[in-house]
Every structure is written in structure tokens, then in C-alpha cells.
Amino acid sequence: MRALKLLVVLIVLVGTSSCGGNKEVKKLPIYGRQEFKEVDGKVDTIYHTIPDFTFYDQDSLAVTLASFDGKVYVADFFFGTCPTICPIMKQQMLRVYERFNDNPEFGILSHTIDPAHDTVAYLKDFSMRLGVPNSKVWKFVTGDQDEIYRIGSAEGYLVPVGADSDAPGGFIHSGAFILIDKEKRIRGLYDGTKPIEVDALMNDIPKLLAEYEK
């Protein structure tokens, strides 16, 4: 997918491993920019994180970054009248929801990029037709269009999002499913139109959750 290829220059791979006998355990990579800060003679690495936001979900409840505190979550972008990849993405995300919806440390956040059409009422109907009654796990959110575009940009999820009169449906957006850890860092990008990549995502979610096991 072209959008994912464009992200290669932004990827930072953190090779973390530990050995227990002959078994090597590797953590998932961390994506995005990194900065280095020296404190008391020690250099700390500061990674790119998702900035705060305020949107509204299908139940008219405010959703902020803090809504996902203590959770690993998957984010994506879509719009309700999308004639191309969005229906495929939503069916694939439904697989993820059905697999992990009983885990209190997991969530899904789907951002509409067409808030003028995709109102709270529309998103409620959309989610129910899709078969997602539990808004505590999977939140479909709308809000200020500029804020949505900001959160999808290099400042946030590092994917292309925006209006485009030449694109089918009038908008362009990535088909990526974006895996976010509890520190709000990007830990994986997967093509949400390809079942094999969604399978990889579902294999990686337990790995990421395992990083937080004590």
C-alpha cells in the first residue's frame, strides 16, 4: 500500500530482546520520530506519541486520548459514503473486534474524515448495522474536520487524510490499521484491506499486551 510505503522513512525500529535459555523474546517496533534528551548524564529516548484530541462517539460521549489510558488500541480512518476500501476495512476490523472485545485492556478507535455527513446519529446507525453494540470497545468518532486531519497527519498517526476532489467519494485516506500501545506510541501498521495483514495484527495484539504483564 502506497501510504504505508511512505512511512518507511519515519520508522524507528527498537530491537529489544531478552534471553531465557535459548528462547529470544522480541518486542514490537516503535514507529515514528525519536529525540534524545540528556538528564543527569544519562541519555533518554523520547518517542513519537499520539497527541491529545477531543471527538464524540456514536453515543454522543466525549472521547479523548485519556479514554484509552491503560489500553492497547487500534485506530483507523474511514467515511460512511466511501465507495472503495472502507467497507472492506470495516469487515476486517469486525474480525479484530470479535476476537478481542472481551479484553478490558483493548479498544478500537475509528475516525470519520467526513464529519459533515457522518454525524453522531449516523455513526450510531452505522455501528449498529455493522454489528457493534458495545461502544465501550469500538468507538466511531466525529468532530472538527481540521482536528481530524491534524490527528491523522505527521503530528499524529502518520497517515494521509484529507479532502481530494479527484479521489473516489471526495476524500483520501490510508487503509492502515494502526496499533497503539499504552504509552500512546505507534507499534504497528497493517493494511486493513488484506486479511493476511489483519491476521498479523491479531497475532501482534497479544504480543503487545504481554509487554505489560508483570
CA distances from 153 to 28, 157, 162, 170 (A): 22, 6, 9, 18
Contact 85, 74 (CB under 8 A): no
- Paired with 55 in beta bridges are 63
What is the helix (H) or strand (E) element at residue 151, kind and residue range?
helix 145-152
Cα dihedral 125, 143, 6, 52 sign: negative
C-alpha cell at 208: 503487545
Each residue of 79-107: pLDDT tens digit? 999 989 999 999 999 999 999 999 999 99
Q: And the C-alpha cell for 181?
A: 500501545
Residue 3 confidence (pLDDT) above 60:
no
How many angstroms separate the CA atoms of 158 and 52, rounded? 15
Residue 113: how many other CB atoms lie within 10 Å = 23
Tens-digit pLDDT profile for residues 157-208: 999 887 877 777 778 788 999 999 999 999 999 999 999 999 999 999 999 9
pLDDT band at 114 (very low <50, low <70, confident <90, very high): very high
**Cβ neighbour number for residue 144 with a 10 Å cutoff:** 12
Q: CA-CA distance, 150 to 139, in Å (whole number)? A: 19
pTM, whole model, 2 decimals?
0.86
3-state secondary structure of 181: coil
Structural domains in the chain, CATH included, are 2-47 (no CATH), 54-210 (3.40.30.10)
* 8, pLDDT greater than 90: no
Confidence class for position 25, pLDDT limits 50, 70, 90 = low
